[in-house]
Amino acid sequence: MLEMLDVNKAFPTSGGKVLDGFNLTVDEGEFVSLIGPSGCGKTTALRIVAGLLPPSSGLVFVNGKASLSPSREKAIVFQHFNLFPWRNALDNVAYGLEMQGVKKADRLRIAREYLDLMGLSASEKQFPAQLSGGMRQRIGIARALAIAPKVLLMDEPFGALDALTREYLQGELARICEERRLTTLFVTHSIDEAIYLSDRVVVMGVQPGRVIAEFKISLPKPRGAYNFRAEPAYATVREEIWQLLETQIVRAEKVAS
């Protein structure tokens, strides 16, 4: 469903490549997490897929077609809520559909469906300032899902939330992605979050940003139904991912010094 082929990205002011020969595939219905040290290019890769940032070279394909610009086939959820403060919850969720020219009655019906999916039916008339951080992020996820994208892109969507809200929304996201077979590319700094949510975890290295390893997560789903952290397979894969990340963090610090 998603393919990145030999993607490179350099910023003239950075003095080097942010991404170098970046290759990644995500199958239909697969949940893949990108994890790596700060500055390795995770968000850059995600923004290139979304069409918000052009690559210096390389190609991106969605469903077999070249896709280097924003399109209705892709939706992105950012770390910060990015809701319109003058729109209520319902109208925020309906925004993407409105931009696509969907008739008002139809877009409000669809928006209500996704607010209900996120457990926010009772809040449709409330404005962002009246809602908690977790509720605002659920609206952001509902807005992304409402346009029925082929690929859902998520850039640390729970990073600004408290620990309890984050864990709750991880469970909700896992449930929705499993039920709807969503093709998802997820950026995170948390090994636990990556393992909990993902079918596959892709580890990125630094200087330059690139894929250095992939881990298939064999733990049964739904992982919220049992103590997956107590499983030997969890401890093994977590340690392997951490050892790789630790090496890259040390490398980044040496380069910086």
Q: How confident is the model at residue 118 (pLDDT cuts 50, 70, 90)?
A: confident
d(CA 160, CA 35): 17
Q: For residue 78, what pLDDT is reported?
A: 86
Whole-angstrom distance, CA of residue 26 vs CA of residue 11 = 26
What mean pLDDT, rounded, does the chain reach? Answer: 92
Helices (H), the chain: 42-50, 89-93, 95-99, 104-117, 133-146, 163-180, 191-197, 232-256
pLDDT in tens, 91-112: 999 999 999 899 999 999 999 9
Lowest mean pLDDT among 194-198, 205-209, 237-241: 205-209
Domain 1-73+151-230: give its CATH code.
3.40.50.300
CB atoms inside a 10 Å sphere around CB 239:
11
Q: Residue 82 half-sphere exposure, CB side, CA atoms within 13 Å?
A: 14
Paired residues of 79 in beta bridges: none
* Angle formed at CA 92 by CA 145 and CA 43, multiple of 5 degrees: 55
Taking residues 217-238, what's their average pLDDT? 94
Q: Residue 256: its pLDDT value, please?
A: 66
Task: Please identify which residue in the block is written with the tokens 């103590």.
Answer: 227
Whether omega for the bond prior to residue 128 falls within 30 degrees of 0, making it cis, is: no
Residues 6+ apart with CB under 8 A from 13: none
Q: How confident is the model at residue 3 (pLDDT cuts 50, 70, 90)?
A: very high
Identify the residue with better confidence: 159 or 182.
Answer: 182
Average pLDDT of the segment spanning 185-200 = 96
Q: What is the pTM of this model?
A: 0.92
Q: How confident is the model at residue 162 (pLDDT cuts 50, 70, 90)?
A: confident
d(CA 2, CA 179): 20
Q: Is the pLDDT of residue 123 over 80?
A: yes
Report domain extents, the chain: 1-73+151-230, 80-148
Q: pLDDT band for 15, please (50, 70, 90 cuts).
A: low
More reliable by pLDDT, 15 or 1: 1
- Note the pLDDT tens digit of each residue in 30-59: 999 999 998 899 999 999 999 999 999 999
Distances (CA, A) of 244 to 86, 157, 188, 253: 45, 24, 15, 15
